[in-house]
Amino acid sequence: MPSRLRAIPAGVLLVAAGTFGLLAVLAVLGRAFGGPPEVPLPERIPRPPDYAKPLGAALSLGPAREDEAYLDAFLRTFTSLTPENAMKWEVVHPARGRWNFDEADALVDAAVRTRKRVRGHPLVWDQQLPPYAARGDVETMLREHVRTLVRRYRGRVAQWDVVNEPLEDDGTLTQNPWQRTLGERWIDVAFATARAADPEAQLFLNEIGAERGVKFSALVALARRLRDRGVPIDGIGLQNHTTSGNFPSREVLAEDLAAIGKLGLEAEITEMDVEGASPRAYAAAARACADAPNCTGLTVWGVTDRWSWIGEDKRALPFDAAGRAKPALRALTGPLRRR
């Protein structure tokens, strides 16, 4: 042993070696268990068909990691990805100044690696909103939230649902924390902040149950007011959650898309699912979107029935619980395929 080491007491050497060993073990364990989660992409990425417009699905990290059939059905069918929950305020920004991008990063990274378009969803919504964001200086917190999220994914998110579900079923504006304090101007603030943070992203106003009737008229009226006062809005999202017994026809959707086009705006079917998975309902939306020059794409809300937000028993998606294609799949993809 070199004389200088001999001068160090054996006990100190032992403690040092022990500490080093422990740190090494922790580092290995950390990489195995504690590292940021990833989507387990296969070595060979399946290639979806060639569509005339993006065909998307909402995706969640949990199912993508534990259910191979879900991930495989997604990868081989869809060309656009919407994080189902990962970008929602309560998930990504649970306390003021505290951010958790783990799941959103994993989904966006997977989309980039598999060349899928990303729809960011949603920036401002009064659901899945942590209590802190609804109290105090809600305008400043809204600006901070929108700016941080949009900047982080600049260049990777093609479209954002900037404002989600601002309307009641009767067409009036929901009395959410921002509407109560700022009036309708909160919508202007959300869009302007998003535009400044990423001038390239397409900015959407997204609404549920507004495919027909007074809610559709109110949605168009709101979009017209926004456009007329110079708010940087690019498009309107129609969620199109529907049922096999009462779904919007191709004609109704074609009229909707045309009315939106008349405002100079794009449109997207953003969250489609159909209780009972009527192939006619899926075909109606796919045809309407395929035929409308201003329709930028169609997204379904989930992949397989097993993970559907409205429950497996509703059988609402184009793939069954085991990931087998249902007749709805052909109905959906047929009209969108490039001929």
Site for ligand XIL in 229-288 (CB under 6 A): 239, 271
Strands (E), 6-65: 55-59
Q: How many whole angstroms separate alpha carbon 83 and alpha carbon 301?
A: 10
CA dihedral 299, 303, 307, 308 (to 10 degrees): 40
Interface residue with ligand XIL among 77, 80, 164, 176 (CB under 6 A) is 164
Minimum CB distance to ligand XIL, residue 319 (Å):
16
Asked if 84 is part of the footprint of ligand XIL (rule: CB under 6 A), the reply reads yes
Give, as one character, the DSSP assignment of residue 85. Answer: S
Helices (H), 174-266: 177-182, 185-197, 213-228, 250-262
* Catalytic, out of 207, 268, 271, 275: 271
- Pattern 30-69, ligand XIL, x by CB under 6 A: ----------------------------------------
CB of 279 within 8 A of CB of 250?
A: no
User: For ligand XIL, which residue has the nearest CB?
Assistant: 309
Report the nearest approach of ligand XIL to the CB of residue 150 (Å).
Answer: 17
Q: What are the strands, taking DSSP E only, across 60-125?
A: 80-83, 117-120
Q: Is 38 a catalytic residue?
A: no
Least distance to ligand XIL, CB of residue 148, Å: 19
Residues 84, 103, 165, 275: which is the catalytic one? 165
Q: Which of 77, 79, 80, 85 binds ligand XIL (CB under 6 A)?
A: 85
CA dihedral 186, 192, 195, 197 (to 10 degrees): -80
**DSSP per-residue codes, 270-328:** EEEEEET--HHHHHHHHHHHHH-TTEEEEEES-SBGGG-TT-GGG--SSB-TTSPBPHH
| Closest distance to ligand XIL from the beta carbon of 247 (Å) | 17
User: With respect to ligand XIL, which residue has the nearer C-beta, 85 or 179?
Assistant: 85
CB of 214 to ligand XIL, least distance (A): 19
Nearer to ligand XIL, 126 or 139 (CB): 126
- Contact positions vs ligand XIL (CB under 6 A): 84-85, 122, 164, 208, 239, 271, 309
